[in-house]
A and B are shown apart, each in its own frame.
Chain A
């Protein structure tokens, strides 16, 4: 059995707990179990990393995720190095800290906080509520300490070296205060959602926060290096009355007040709020706790009746698919992509990323030339970078959190497996890729003008062809039929090579843009190839898979 150092540390304070009539052995057992389970949970932030192989030594997922947080925390370093404009730099720094901590709290720790199994497992044992609540509080405390420690540790040391001890002390205390505020805000958020909606809605909210966190981190990385430019930036910043509503700005006030000896009404008010609001929030949270627990019971209950499902608008499945089976799989896949949380968590972030990726290239181009130069250039070919999601989503189509439901394909009298693949792939194109394509297309037409419309059509046709290639290379598996835990390393390698194919498309397209008649010829050829592929390709592929 693993001995947790933190528990050994806690043993020294045994007297403290026993004085408060807490059942110490039970408290220790609960915490030990909870920490053990934390280790085995893969945090959202790490969800992209490889899975544990059988027989490998058990890895502490939680501890290794802390390294990630330390890395993300480096974003804060420039704000610590900056000169003495505390209002500006510290409010930004605290905004980032609060964002990181709160999102990871919501995305990873909420499942722990709201473990409804606790009630049946713990409350049926001779353990009183005081002990259970103490265990819960300590658990949150341990989690928050490690998380904020990892995120803010390096920046705080940098701040200590740059601005001295007093700066460091203020920053440290404020980090703790902001933690309290975050716990309170998270609890309040859950409380409100559970008060007015059911548990399913809450799970959706958590899911979207998780997705947002991943997108923010992926995009954030792009700016880490650039953010060092900010060091030379000097922004004058005047406090306004409405800053009262923005907590990170309060947190910047004590720095100005103490380190710059600047005294004015706002700074004094905000400094007071920095101290007072989190403490009030803590008191309020303690009061709210029992009501919160009661609302938590709603998580167990089945959600209310769903509003009657909208019919598929336009009967898209009938337009896009021929055979009945293909239509069925298409509809089913659309629903899975829309509703299955685990699938969304795995796929939606890369969707968001692929929207941003082309612009990162365009921004680099803007660095060298003007907007007018850009609009006449061939930078619109950067559109192709949005295709990077295609291989990963096509691979992901194989997986599902409810993979066990796939027995139904085996049990049904389905003759053409090609229809199954085709339906699922079409659903992906229709439900995920086309919307993404349209959004990007609009922005690109604004940037480059209508002249690029034929190019966009070519891009789209190439994308469709690319979808098929990706399917050929990675297909062979019935959609939504495997657990996410089985994601193969070899899939990653395949995706990597498939992404290189995109460069081929870009190159060919670029060559064709030299003469416009070649471009239109290319368009027609692509159209013909696509018609053949989407008519026959899947059936042929399915038969070859069998053989």
Chain B
């Protein structure tokens, strides 16, 4: 089963109000891969994920997930996908327990196993019973993020889209989460991981895809990117590939303005 394509994107174009945000994205992903999907703000990362999940229509190109064209109108493929959106959107007036049960129902799961599973998962993440039954609106950023992560895994999906999943998590939770990712990948699950935190992406990804202005400008393992003549950390490679080398100058100007008063 290794290397059977889980996800194929061909010639993906997408525009908002005449402005193209995706300019022909092509990629093929096999099972068991952790893909670090990176790029500057506005490069089209979240848009790609939204298109693949069917949250945004009106694209051109072809997206095949689990050998099914997602434009066919059959939403069954989403049964095998888990998603943590960048904007941590939840129904705040529900409790975590209610929300997770609801999500389970939407995936067509039986109520009892889902709720006990949700309880166990949150407990492992350090959220106790009391928290589980209070409203999400009272949660901290990290707690909300934990609920979102759990909600994306309830149905044991094979393909995961994580958009900035660790924002707000404390260092210990981040360590747990990273271990979870590699354990899931070793079970053959595919993980699409977008983030701005380069250190984490560098460490966990098997393969890194760099998007800039709606195009893929680099695709390969971290070592492969280094071997292509790009030196240094992923952060530095990111700077070079997106053609950004002025950070020192800008920082100096910035500090100069700070001192003006």
- Known contacts A117-B89, A128-B75, A122 near B106 by CB under 8 Å: yes
Interface size grouping (class) on chain B:
20 to 34
Confirm or deny: B39 has a beta carbon within 8 angstroms of a beta carbon on chain A.
no
CB neighbours (8 Å) of A504 from chain B are none
- Chain B residues contacting A26 (CB-CB under 8 Å) are 105-106, 108
Complex interface bits, A119-156 against B, C-beta within 8 A gives 1, otherwise 0: 11111111110000000000000000000000000000
Q: Specify which chain A residues have a CB less than 8 angstroms from the CB of B75 in the assembled complex.
A: 126-128
Chain A contacts for B120, CB-based, 8 A? none
- The smallest beta-carbon distance between B78 and chain A, in angstroms, is 4
- Contact yes or no, A119 B105, CB < 8 A: no
Count of chain A to chain B residue pairs whose CB atoms are closer than 8 Å in the complex: 66
Q: How far is the CA of A28 from the CA of B106 in the complex (A)?
A: 9
Residues of B with C-beta under 8 A to A120 = 55, 85, 87, 89
State whether A123 touches B91 (Cβ < 8 A).
Answer: no
Q: Which residues of B contact A239 (CB under 8 A)?
A: none
Name the residue of chain A whose CB is nearest to the CB of B82: A124
Q: Is the CB of B89 within 8 A of A36?
A: no
Cβ of B53 under 8 Å from chain A? yes
Q: Interface code B153-175, partner A: CB below 8 Å = 1, 0 otherwise? A: 00000000000000000000000
Q: Mark A159-180, 1 if CB is under 8 A from B, else 0.
A: 0000000000000000000000
Contact A124 B78 (CB under 8 A): yes
- Chain B CB within 8 A of A404 CB: no
Contacts of A25 in B (CB 8 A): 105, 108
In Å, the complex CA distance between A28 and B111 comes to 13
**A435 to B199 CA separation, bound complex (whole angstroms):** 58
| Known contacts A29-B102, A33-B102, A120-B89; A125/B107 CB under 8 A | yes
> What are the residues of chain A within 8 A of B105 when measuring CB–CB?
25-26, 28-29
Q: Roughly how many angstroms separate A517 CA and B4 CA in the complex, as a whole number?
A: 99
Contact status of A36 and B98, CB under 8 A, knowing A119-B55, A125-B78: yes
> How far apart sit A1 and B102, CA to CA, in the bound complex (Å)?
12
B83 partner residues in chain A, CB cutoff 8 A: 124
Interface centre among A32, A40, A124, A128 (most CB of B within 10 A): A124
Which residues in chain A, 448-480, are within 8 Å of chain B measured between CB atoms? none
**Residues in B neighbouring A124, C-beta threshold 8 A:** 53-55, 78, 81, 83, 85
CA distance A269 to B83 in the complex (A): 55
Residue A37, interface by CB 8 Å:
yes
B127 in the interface (beta carbon within 8 A): no
Q: Enumerate 20 A-B pairs (CB-CB under 8 Å) in ascending A order.
A: A23-B108, A25-B108, A26-B106, A29-B102, A33-B94, A37-B93, A117-B90, A117-B91, A120-B89, A123-B54, A123-B55, A124-B53, A124-B55, A124-B81, A124-B85, A125-B78, A126-B75, A126-B77, A127-B75, A127-B78
User: Which of chain B's residues have a CB closer than 8 A to the CB of A41?
Assistant: 93
The reply to whether B54 and A37 contact each other, CB–CB distance below 8 Å, is no
Decide if B178 is an interface residue (CB 8 Å cutoff). no
Contact with A126, one of B79, B93, B102 (Cβ below 8 angstroms)? B79
- Give the complex CA separation of A128 and B85 in angstroms: 19
New contact pairs (6) apart from A117-B90, A125-B78, A128-B75, CB-CB < 8 Å: A33-B91, A36-B94, A41-B93, A124-B83, A124-B85, A126-B107
Query: What are the 4 A-B residue pairs with the smallest beta carbon separation, nearest first?
Result: A29-B105, A126-B78, A125-B106, A40-B93
Residues in A neighbouring B8, C-beta threshold 8 A: none
A30 to B89, CA, bound (A): 16
Residue of A nearest to B97 (CB): A1
Q: Is B76 located at the chain interface by the 8 A CB criterion?
A: yes
Contact A121 B87, beta carbon cutoff 8 Å = no
- Name which of A30, A125, A128 has the most chain B CB atoms within 10 A of its CB: A125
Per-position binary interface string of chain A over residues 1-41, scored 1 when its CB falls under 8 Å from any chain B CB and 0 otherwise: 10000000000000000000001011011101100110011
Minimum CB–CB distance for A342 against chain B, Å: 15
Taking the closest CB of chain B, its distance from the CB of A116, in whole angstroms, is 8
Shortest CB distance A407–B (Å)? 15
Beta-carbon contact of A126 and B108 below 8 Å? yes
In the complex, B9 has a CB within 8 A of chain A: no
B103 at the interface (CB under 8 A from A): yes
Q: List B residues at the A interface (Cβ < 8 Å).
A: 53-55, 73, 75-79, 81, 83, 85, 87, 89-91, 93-94, 98, 102-103, 105-108, 135
Q: Which of B77, B78, B94, B106 contacts A29 (CB 8 A)?
A: B106
Closest to A301 in B: B16
Chain A residues in 8 Å Cβ range of B89: 117, 120-121
Find chain B residues with CB under 8 A from A117 CB: 89-91
Residues of B within 8 A of A1 (CB): 98
Q: Among the listed A23, A28, A125, which residue makes an inter-chain contact with B103, where contact means beta carbons less than 8 Å apart?
A: A125
Interchain CB contact under 8 A, B91 and A121:
yes
**Shortest Cβ distance from A254 into chain B, in angstroms?**
42
Whole-angstrom distance between the alpha carbons of A33 and B136 in the complex?
14
Interchain CA distance A120-B56 in the complex, whole Å: 10
Report the nearest A residue to B80, measured CB to CB. Answer: A126
B94 touches A37 (CB 8 A): yes
Provide the bound-state CA to CA distance between A26 and B75, in Å: 13
**B-side contacts of A32, CB under 8 Å:** 102
A123→B83 CA distance, assembly (Å): 11
B interface footprint on A468-508 (CB within 8 Å = 1, 0 otherwise): 00000000000000000000000000000000000000000
Give the CA-CA distance A25 to B55 in the complex, in Å. Answer: 21
| Other-chain residue from A28, A40, A121, A122 in contact with B90 (beta carbon distance below 8 A) | A121
**Nearest-CB residue, chain A, relative to B102:** A33
Q: In the assembled complex, how far is the CB of residue B143 from the closest CB belonging to chain A, in whole angstroms?
A: 16
Contact B106 A37 (CB under 8 A): no
Nearest-Cβ distance from residue B138 to partner chain A, whole angstroms: 11
Which of chain B's residues have a CB closer than 8 A to the CB of A36? 93-94, 98
User: What CA separation (Å) do A30 and B98 show in the bound complex?
Assistant: 12
Known: A33-B98, A119-B55. A127 touches B93 (CB 8 A): no
Interface residues of A in 215-257 (CB under 8 A from B): none
Q: Which residues of A contact B98 (CB under 8 A)?
A: 1, 33, 36
Interface residues of A in 75-130 (CB under 8 A from B): 117, 119-128
Residue of A nearest to B54 (CB): A123
* Alpha-carbon separation in the docked complex, A266 to B138 (Å): 59
In angstroms, Cα B78 to Cα A123, docked, is: 9
Q: In angstroms, how far is the closest chain A Cβ from the Cβ of B42?
A: 13
Task: Please report the C-alpha to C-alpha distance between residue A119 and residue B56 in the assembled complex, in whole angstroms.
Answer: 9
- Tell me whether A126 and B76 are in contact in the complex, defined as CB-CB below 8 angstroms, given that A26-B108, A120-B85 are known contacts: yes
Chain B residues near A37 (CB-CB < 8 A): 91, 93-94
Bound: A1/B95 CA distance, A: 12
Chain B residue with minimal CB distance to A30?
B106
Closest to B135 in A: A40
**Which B residues lie within 8 Å of A23 (CB)?**
108
* Contact partners of A119 in chain B: CB under 8 A: 55
Q: What residues of chain B lie closer than 8 Å to A125, measured between beta carbons?
A: 78, 103, 106-107
Q: Report the separation of the CA atoms of residues A121 and B105 in the bound assembly, to the nearest whole angstrom.
A: 13
